[in-house]
């Protein structure tokens, strides 16, 4: 397994984590500030890992 494929896999895990945190909201209070911040942080990490993996493949 090359480093580029590992980056793509890690990006997929980060994307799944961001989706999981985004969907884990309370029905009464909605999403909290730290929950939104962590989901955005994971989304940025997922995009960076995926883009760098694609660029390493090219």
Q: How many domains does the chain have?
A: 1
pLDDT over 90 (residue 1): no
pTM: 0.85
pLDDT over 90 (residue 18): yes
Residue 29 Cα distances to 1, 25, 33, angstroms: 44, 8, 11
Residue numbers of the domain that contains 9: 3-23+32-57
| Through-space distance between the first and last CA atoms of the chain, rounded to whole angstroms | 16
Confidence (pLDDT) at 32: 85
- CA 51 vs. chain centroid, Å, equals 12
């Amino acid at each position: 397994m090359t480093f580029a494929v590992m980056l793509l896999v890690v990006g997929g895990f980060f994307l799944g984590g961001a989706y999981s945190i985004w969907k884990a909201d309370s029905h009464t209070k909605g999403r909290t500030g730290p929950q939104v911040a962590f989901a955005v942080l994971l989304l940025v990490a997922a995009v960076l890992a995926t883009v760098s993996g694609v660029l390493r493949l090219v």
